Amino acid sequence: MTAPRLDVDALLADPAIRIVVCCGAGGVGKTTTAAALGLRAAEVHGRRTVVLTIDPARRLAQSMGLNELDNTPRQVKGIAEGGGGELHAMMLDMKRTFDEVVEQHTTPKRAAEIFANPFYQAMSSTFAGTQEYMAMEKLGQLRAGGQWDLIVVDTPPSRSALDFLDAPARLSRFLDGRMLRMLLAPARTGGRSVFSLVTASFGLFSKTVQKVLGAQLLTDLSGFVAALDSMFGGFRQRADQTYRILQDPQTAFLLVAAPERDAIREAAYFAERLVAERMPLAGLVLNRMHSTEAAGLTPEESEAAADRLEAEGDQQITADVLRIHAGLLRQAQRETAVAAGFIESFPAVPTVPIAAQPADVHDVDGLRTIGSLLA
């Protein structure tokens, strides 16, 4: 079964497409793919593009000739000559984005209280799901700004690609959850200490909470919730709003996978989720695919010919080349068989294969090469 060909240039040139989200398992080339898409959108299609990466390895900055990336878009120089487009790049700073949200939705005095709270300091830096939630926050900010023709998102290198969609809802439920509102109640009704209130309100339950969480953490948590009172509801509201943007036809999801069973399985899980959530799945990018120009010469024929040449004893180099060809062809066949598992499950999803490169991409020329292969 053959999947339809993904027309990447048509996707990037379409003015109705405002967001491209690259998603998939870790280590499959999402960052390089996102950067190559952004570069091609700017140079070939003249679009003012920003690439948002959540990749801590900083490969995107290096490939674009930038010393560093931070939470503010930086223009990539020396590209788009004659194309009329611009390329900007940024790397999500999880804590800085959380700080921006706090500053935007509360007073300076209340923001200072939140920033000083130990629970907030830990949560904004290391809390599970915070990175994915803040990626959604930053995407919402970029989209609301209105200055970009195209936003390309390189999703977080999570344990599961689905974390990008699941974690924001989990975190917003936590921040807007019943237990935190119970802790918040005393701050609204007289300012009694958290311990006297908890003891009065929860009885035995409060003692269990203190035993599990610890007295100091409970104090920090209560102070954090009280300071964050003015922002309750906003987390879930903004997460829901960004979620709706992801469901809109202006967004295109591109699955990125390597021809490996785990990566293809992850791509299939994500495709099922996108279909279930009515999110626009544009296609699959199959990275690092191997092929050979002499596909008509089977591995068995190559190895038989190599055996004959070695028996003759005077064409060892040719025999070695034939064995390399046999190994390469077998690898290509294995990769095609693995990819077929996805194609059989989603026959209507367009696909584009990207040939394996002899070296990692480290510069703009390398990104141009990947962009040409995508197109």
Mean pLDDT of successive 10-residue stretches along the chain, which has 375 residues: 90 97 88 93 94 74 75 82 81 85 83 82 73 81 92 77 67 59 52 44 45 55 62 68 88 95 91 91 94 80 86 83 88 92 94 90 88 92
* Separation of alpha carbons 324 and 330, rounded Å: 10
Looking at the structure, tell me whether residues 159 and 51 fall in a common domain. yes
Residue 325: which domain range? 299-333
Q: Give the torsion through C-alpha atoms of 126, 118, 186, 175, to 10 deg.
A: -20
Q: Please tell me whether residues 193 and 271 are part of one structural domain.
A: no
Compute the Cα dihedral for 56, 102, 160, 34 and give only its sign: negative
Q: 165 CB contacts (<8 Å, ≥6 apart)? A: 243, 246, 273, 277
- Tally the domains of the chain: 3
Reference 342, options 279, 256, 277, 280; nearest CA is 256
Query: Do 28 and 256 touch, CB atoms closer than 8 A?
Result: yes
- CA nearest to 117, candidates 230, 233, 226, 209: 226
pLDDT attached to residue 169? 67
- Global pTM reads 0.82
Question: Is residue 1 domain-resident?
Answer: no
The answer to the question of residue 237 being in a domain is no
**Cβ-based neighbours of 365, under 8 Å, separated by 6 or more:** none
Same domain, yes or no: 24 and 150: yes
**Residues 140 and 172 sit within 8 Å (Cβ to Cβ):** no
Specify whether 289 is located in the same domain as 303.
no
- Do both 160 and 264 map to the same domain? yes
Q: Is 183 helix (H, G, I), strand (E, B) or coil?
A: helix
Sequence-distant (6+) residues with CB within 8 A of 78 are 65, 364
* 56 assigned to some structural domain: yes
Please, which residues have CB within 8 angstroms of residue 245's CB and are 6 or more apart in sequence? 19, 139, 140, 143, 251
Instruction: Verify that 137 and 264 share a domain, yes or no.
Output: yes
Same domain (yes/no): 170, 63: yes
- The residues that bridge with 151 in the sheet, in sequence order, are 19, 50
The pLDDT value recorded for residue 205 is 42
365 in Cβ contact with 64 (< 8 Å): no
Q: How far apart are CA 89 and CA 51, in angstroms?
A: 5
- The CATH number of the domain holding residue 279 is 3.40.50.300
Q: Is residue 3 part of a domain?
A: no
Phi, psi of 348 (to 5 degrees): -90, -5
> Is 75 inside any structural domain?
yes
Same domain, 63 and 169: yes
| 43: number of Cβ within 10 Å | 23
Which helix (H) or strand (E) segment holds residue 74: the answer is strand 74-75
Identify the pLDDT of residue 157. Answer: 64
Residue 246 lies in a domain: yes
The pLDDT of residue 242: 79
- Which single residue is written with the structure tokens 């703009």? 364
Residues 287 and 350 placed together within one structural domain of the fold: yes
263 and 349 in a single domain? The answer is: yes
From residue 54, give the alpha-carbon distance in Å to each of 103, 177, 215, 314, 320: 22, 27, 35, 55, 43
Check residue 21 and give its pLDDT. 94
203 Cβ neighbours under 8 A, 6+ residues apart: none
Closest by alpha carbon to 130, among 176, 164, 171, 165?
Answer: 171
Residue 364 domain-assigned (yes or no): yes
Instruction: Indicate if 156 and 32 belong to the same structural domain.
Output: yes
Residues 169 and 119 in one domain: yes
Question: Does residue 191 sit within a domain?
Answer: yes
Cβ atoms of residues 18 and 150 within 8 Å: yes
The C-alpha atoms of residue 88 and residue 66 are separated, in whole angstroms, by 11
